[in-house]
Chains A and B, each alone.
Chain A
Amino acid sequence: MDRREYLRTAAAVGLAGGTAGCASVLDSNPNVALGEPDREFDSEDAPYPAWGQRIPDVALPAPLDDRTVELRAIDRPSVLTFFYSHCNTVCPVLLSTMRNVHTHTLNEGYADEVAFFPTTFDPARDDADRLRTYADEMNVATDADNWAFLRPASEDRATQVVQEQFGVMFERTEPEDMDMYMFTHTALTLLVNADGYVERAYRTDSPDAERILSDLETVRS
């Protein structure tokens, strides 16, 4: 029985509501295809949307595509990460991993089944032109329909969405050896299913593309 079918059945017999609150007790959750990750805390205690939780109900502009993306309205599995383009250390690795997974979808012909949403928390500098240049540097095929950079409309909005709703902490720094500001920030890549539930939250600054691909395969099937 696949997940959707299970959900339909569960709803029909009135189970869906009853099981939703037990995610932290059971090691399975009807809203997600992947089992509970091996960890020492429950999703509700995480500062970010974690396994089995719905992603925040927010809409963000996609400046390169001239549209707004409502995160809960995405009807296919998606991958999200949070970055700023002037970052030299962690973000290029996060973006590069995402780009590698994205390229896999292009190479293997399932691009229309997965969407990618790298989200900047530095809207002051990451405008459409800058994001386009950055995509070019990172060899991202932005002409593909399944990749859209998201950009909160203001710095306040970035704090509100990225920090407060997604739990990605970021703070401006003024490095002495640089003539521009940078950020210290946490790393988060999310794999979200077509119903808007988090399947995996990869809390590492070097996420493993192979693992994401393997998790994605389970989520797609």
Chain B
Amino acid sequence: MNRRRVLLALGGLGLTGASAWAVRNDAASGSGLPIEVTTMDAPGSEAGERRVPAADAVTVVDLFATWCSPCKEQMDALATVRESYGEEVAMISVTNERLGGSLSREDLREWWRENDGAWALGLDPDSELMSALGASGLPYVAVFDAEGAVRWSDSGLTDATDLRGAVDDALATP
């Protein structure tokens, strides 16, 4: 059995584990944050730039994509938390989809409208934020404390109770 066969035989899990670990390791170092994210004109969102995480405020960051159905469901929990905390907590939803081809700015705005977005809507076409957070799946939600440290993050659908708990913890951070 040659070397290649041996490695093949060892199987994928070890390799997947290793690559996933590397990604998380990056995130743990918090490398690359904060990032200036371009925001666009949409309900609750103005065109401009936003620092992620916000300076001196607890920040909820939601990574999504228009092709991701659970990301639509994620919007409900985000809206609930948004209503509870209002402006006390900064919230931004960011897609890493590059506009162009068969996805226009208007398509994205339409998605946002349909899913009742009412906070900042950001664009991350080079997946900078996604990489910095080490998100390997969508939806992905992270909560930062006012010092800019990640207090909590979750890949996959997060319900409103868990998200509220994470925000409360971040707010309680001295």
Contact = CB atoms under 8 A, between A and B. Distances in A.
B174 interface: no
Interface stretch (B36-44, B82-90, B135-143): B135-143
Given A96-B65, A208-B131, A103 B98 contact: yes
A154 interface: no
A168 B97 CA distance: 26
B137 A90 contact: yes
Contacts of B130: 206
Q: How large is the interface on A (under 10, 10 to 19, 20 to 34, 35 or more residues)?
A: 35 or more
B127 A209 contact: yes
B1 interface: no
A93 B65 CA distance: 10
B138 A93 contact: yes
B100 A103 contact: yes
A81 B8 CA distance: 18
Interface stretch (B9-17, B113-121, B159-167): B9-17
A138 B135 contact: no
A169 B7 contact: no
A205 B136 contact: yes
Q: Which of B20, B100, B138 has the most CB of A within 10 A?
A: B100
A151 interface: no
Contacts, number: 120
Contact of A141 (B19, B65, B102, B107): B102
Contact of A204 (B4, B10, B22, B107): B22
Interface string B102-131: 110001000000000000000001111011
A186 B127 CA distance: 21
A208 B67 contact: no
Contacts of B136: 89-90, 93, 204-206
B134 interface: yes
Interface residues of B, number: 39
Contacts of A138: 67
B134 to A, nearest CB: 7
A104 B98 contact: yes
Contacts of A210: 126-128, 131
Given A137-B67, A164-B8, A213-B126, A106 B3 contact: no
A144 B12 contact: no
Contact of B19 (A47, A97, A187): A187
B128 A93 contact: no
Given A90-B136, A90-B137, A100 B125 contact: yes
A89 B131 CA distance: 16
Nearest to A171: B12
Contacts of A96: 65, 67, 96-97
A116 to B, nearest CB: 11
Interface of B: 3-4, 7-8, 10-13, 15-16, 18-20, 22-23, 65-68, 96-103, 107, 125-128, 130-131, 134-138
20 contacts: A46-B7, A47-B15, A92-B65, A92-B138, A96-B65, A96-B67, A96-B96, A99-B98, A100-B126, A104-B125, A169-B8, A170-B12, A186-B16, A203-B15, A204-B136, A205-B23, A205-B137, A206-B130, A209-B127, A210-B126
